[in-house]
């Protein structure tokens, strides 16, 4: 049976089993923590059971620096799970192999994959597989007997809402939130951030809370800082905060106002040792059944219409997952769709400006 399944998967890709060495693990670079555990349950382990190929994970926490270094070496990553903004930039730099959607499975009702996936999910270098959002969460116990924060402006109001803020050491989302705190409409954010005036305004707002910031670089740190009560606010990913609040019963509450949502995307590094098997894996991991299964473990939305219709309850708590998805109507009033093309084109300049701003604080 295992051989039959493997042959079927290979045929779906128009490839032959044995084109590459079949022994040894497939190495997937991904984000760790509850997110990786959801992947393990949803498609890593089922893929291994179906094909006999073990999945070995490598730690990755965003950006292109590590990938740039690794593509110069022997090719020890076969698949990488990236934000769409980083994915597009990596594709433009030639760090990823080309990909035209080969091997993507049709929906159970026969709908072709290219019609079942949301628009723009399939890129020249990969395919988006889930929708997640960057949000701010707060320590519910700390604010239990006072006014509770509920707007993104409250992140910048340290008098009314005191305490340290755990922020990701990247400009993403921070700049959008800073401009929103001035009252800039969502639709004008990226136009304004494309000007020096807009960037200056954003960094000026960040200046006002600089002494209250605790920086994190790994997503797990954001939740841990809230758990330890080292901070009262933390920015991070909605699925991890969901796990802390609902599964772990921690006093963590998400502020959905101004969530910045984008897509997590599979790609194959330029020097991957097993590109055919990587394509086979992507085809399996993006099946309707695989994407729907992942929503039983983490509150990230699938990118296929057929999988969205199958979103149900959390595997261990029985909580209705639809209410916790970034795409739920109650969460979309002031939601920001991250302009990944803008980030891809401005990344170097943004990072340079951000590093200058960080250095200015260190010099004080």
> Structure tokens of 178?
């800073």
Query: For residue range 39-89, what is the model confidence (pLDDT) as tens digits?
Result: 999 999 999 999 999 999 999 999 999 999 999 988 899 999 999 999 999
| pLDDT tens digit sequence for 88-117 | 999 999 999 999 898 999 999 999 999 999
265, pLDDT greater than 90: yes
pLDDT for the residue numbered 357: 97
Q: What is the pTM of this model?
A: 0.90
Instruction: Give dist(CA 236, CA 346) in Å, integer.
Output: 22
How many whole angstroms from its chain centre is CA 178?
21
- pLDDT recorded at residue 327: 94
Torsion of CA 98, 103, 107, 109, to 10 degrees: 140
Question: Percentage of the chain with pLDDT > 90?
Answer: 91
Model confidence over 1-23: pLDDT tens digits? 333 334 344 444 334 334 444 56
The pLDDT of residue 4 is 37
The rounded mean pLDDT for the chain is 93
Is 298 in contact with 323 (CB distance < 8 Å)?
no
Pairing of β 165-168 and β 79-83: unpaired
pLDDT at residue number 75: 86
pLDDT digits (tens, 9 = 90+) for 234-260: 999 999 999 999 999 999 999 999 999
Closest C-alpha among 114, 124, 61, 118 to residue 88 = 124
pLDDT confidence band for 332 (50 / 70 / 90): very high
pLDDT at residue 181 tops 80: yes
Question: Which has the closest alpha carbon to 51: 113, 5, 97?
Answer: 5
* pLDDT (average), residues 177-187: 98
- Token code pair at residue 24: 């040894």
Do residues 76 and 100 lie in contact, with contact meaning Cβ atoms separated by under 8 Å? no
pLDDT band at residue 184 under the 50/70/90 scheme: very high
């Amino acid at each position: 049976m295992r051989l039959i399944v493997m042959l079927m998967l290979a045929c779906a890709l128009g490839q032959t089993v044995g084109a590459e060495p079949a022994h040894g693990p497939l190495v997937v670079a991904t984000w760790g923590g509850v997110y990786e555990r959801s992947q393990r349950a949803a498609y890593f382990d089922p893929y291994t059971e179906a094909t006999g190929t073990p999945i070995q994970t490598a730690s990755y926490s965003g950006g292109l620096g590590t990938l740039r270094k690794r593509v110069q070496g022997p090719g020890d990553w076969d698949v990488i799970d990236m934000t769409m903004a980083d994915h597009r930039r990596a594709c433009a730099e030639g760090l990823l192999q080309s990909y035209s959607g080969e091997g993507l499975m049709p929906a159970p009702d026969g709908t072709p994959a290219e019609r079942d996936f949301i628009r723009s999910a399939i890129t020249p270098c990969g395919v988006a597989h889930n929708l997640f959002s960057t949000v701010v969460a707060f320590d519910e116990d700390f604010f239990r007997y006072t006014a509770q924060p509920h707007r993104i402006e409250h992140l910048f109001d340290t008098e009314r809402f005191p305490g340290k803020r755990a922020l990701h050491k990247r400009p993403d989302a921070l700049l959008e939130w800073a401009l929103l705190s001035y009252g800039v409409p969502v639709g004008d954010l990226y136009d304004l951030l494309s000007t020096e005036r807009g960037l200056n305004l954003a960094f000026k707002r960040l200046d006002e809370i600089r002494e209250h910031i605790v920086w994190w670089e790994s997503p797990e740190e954001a939740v841990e800082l809230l758990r330890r009560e080292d901070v009262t606010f933390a920015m991070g990913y909605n699925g991890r905060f969901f796990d802390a609040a609902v599964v772990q019963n921690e006093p963590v509450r998400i502020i959905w106002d101004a969530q910045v949502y984008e897509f997590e995307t599979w790609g194959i590094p330029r020097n991957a040792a097993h590109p055919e098997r990587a394509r086979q894996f992507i085809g399996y991991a993006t099946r309707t059944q695989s994407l729907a299964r992942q929503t039983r473990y983490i509150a990230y939305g699938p990118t296929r219409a057929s999988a969205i219709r199958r979103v149900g309850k959390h595997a261990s708590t029985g909580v209705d997952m639809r209410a916790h998805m970034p795409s739920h109507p109650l969460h979309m009033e002031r939601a920001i769709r991250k302009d990944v093309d803008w980030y891809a084109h401005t990344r170097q300049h943004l990072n340079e400006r951000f590093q200058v701003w960080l250095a200015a604080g260190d010099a004080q």
